Structure 1
Amino acid sequence: MIDGFLQIIGMITITIFALAFFSFILILIIGYVLLKKNKLIFPNLALFLMDSFHSILLRIFLLIGSEDTFYRVGIEFYNKYYENAFKKTKKRVLILPHCLRDTKCPAKLTPNGVECIFCNRCKIGDIIKVAKENGYKVYIVPGSTFLKRILKEEKPEAVFGVACNRDLFYGMNMLSRKGIPSQGQPLLRDGCINTLVDVDELITRLKSL
């Protein structure tokens, strides 16, 4: 009799977990669809889950999509969630990856990152000019560890980052957990050399935010 009761309890528990799991998958799908329509469902709850349980969310998301898609969804979410807060800030930094440079770039790496000399071999110079006109301090960095140093030294109110999907997501996630509004622009082509970003879209966003 006790064994039968325990089996019933076990079946009920498994059923509850199964229903909860599939409900969570459904919420992820609905949330993604609404995000594409420029809407957020339970934004504060979604932010808490994305900030605190992103590794678990990634594992669940892999059942219905790819890792890269998860990062893109996360970036879209952070962009949408922090857009209004970002617009209210004044002390901002723009973080550009050094891999956007031309392979024959003559600029040198310094303690503050790569110092652009505006040689016109790539579009970084054009981006920097627009960014500075719109109040950004610009850093061209060789790695994500630079971001932590910049935060410590500059103490910016907001950060705009350009990077591959994975690095950009984790950078925005870290900033979110610190309460710093961020915006991100994913690379169109990554690979750590000769990477590519939509310059026109980036410049438009830098001007509009």
Structure 2
Amino acid sequence: MDKYLKKFIYFSIAVIFALCLVISGMAFIYRNFTISNYNFIIFLTIVTFGGVTTLLALSIPIILIAYKTKIINPSMAVFAKWSLNVLFPLISVFLKFLRNNKDTIRRFYININNILTESAGVKFKPEDVLLILPHCLQNFECKIKITADIRNCKNCGLCTIGDIKNMTVDMGIKVMVVTGGTAARNIIVKEKPKIVVAVACERDLISGIFDVKNLCVIGVTNERPNGPCKDTFVDVETLRNKLISIIA
């Protein structure tokens, strides 16, 4: 049997079995629960949602102050990070319902994530830092394959790759150019850095930050004058300052 078909059948049976368990559980509750049981469940749900809502409401002023002052107490940063991780998906669903562009709120999340990460004041050795760049920073007409090794860049000056390559050589930082999110995640697993500085569009940065929650990530958004994925660029000085701020 085809392995793809085998997996489809296996997971289909697993889903059907799980649904049967849910139905059985609901039938049991229907037959055995009293009104007082239902009232207790509703009360517990109200208390839980009320508590979470209160914590989220309390976190908003903390997040706003951190965003404006660019600094936050490390003990409060954990609370602010938790709140952001709860709020952001909810806001995204709300914006999707309104058919509103998400890039503004994505950029806010990236900026505040950087502030929370940098406010910890932790410094890293250059060899523990990994800089990840999107391949679209490279000039579209260039024939040099830098996704294999950025050192292949000939410093022609038609894009910012050459300047970034020279900067990272001086700093002793490992830099990789990737073709997408999957390649970036594979490199992170392979290299095992202690902190990642990533350049990408808002959507890819958000996806990456959420995918590697147990790893410090600093995001730098690229500029896209020619649309996505073609001849994008990043301010090299901004990138340099981000790297200097975390290097011991």
TM-score normalised by length of structure 1: 0.75
Q: Is the Cα contact below 8 Å between 2:222 and 2:232 reproduced in 1? A: yes
For 2:57 and 2:245, the matched residues in 1 are separated by 34
Q: Which has the higher contact order (CA 8 A, sep 6+)?
A: 1
Larger fraction in helix: 2
Structure 1: segments with no counterpart, 5+ residues? 1-11
For 1:169 and 1:196, the matched residues in 2 are separated by 18
Higher mean alpha-carbon deviation, 89-98 vs 36-45, is at 36-45
Partner of 1:167: 204
Partner of 1:204: 241
Aligned residues: 205
Partner of 1:9: none
- The alignment-based identity, stated in percent, is 28
1:43 has 2:80 as partner:
no
Output the aligned Cα RMSD. Answer: 3.8
Q: Is the Cα contact below 8 Å between 1:94 and 1:160 reproduced in 2? A: yes
Q: Is the Cα contact below 8 Å between 2:196 and 2:217 reproduced in 1? A: yes
Q: CA offsets, 1:152-179, max 9 Å, x none? A: 22111111100001111221222233xx
Partner of 1:30: 61
Q: Is the Cα contact below 8 Å between 2:147 and 2:179 reproduced in 1? A: no
Q: Is the Cα contact below 8 Å between 2:132 and 2:176 reproduced in 1? A: yes
TM-score normalised by length of structure 2: 0.65
The structure with the larger Rg is: 2
For 1:57 and 1:167, the matched residues in 2 are separated by 17
Partner of 1:8: none
Structure 2: segments with no counterpart, 5+ residues? 1-42
Q: CA deviation at 1:45?
A: 2.1
For 1:56 and 1:193, the matched residues in 2 are separated by 31
2:163 is aligned, of 126, 129, 141, to 126
Q: CA offsets, 1:131-171, max 9 Å, x none? A: 22212111111111111221222111111100001111221
2:134 is aligned, of 97, 102, 110, to 97
1:59 alignment partner AA: V
Going from structure 1 to structure 2, the CA distance change for 1:44 and 1:57 (only over 3 Å counts) comes to: farther
1:106 is aligned, of 112, 133, 143, to 143
Q: Is the Cα contact below 8 Å between 1:165 and 1:186 reproduced in 2? A: yes
Partner of 1:186: 221
1:137 has 2:174 as partner:
yes
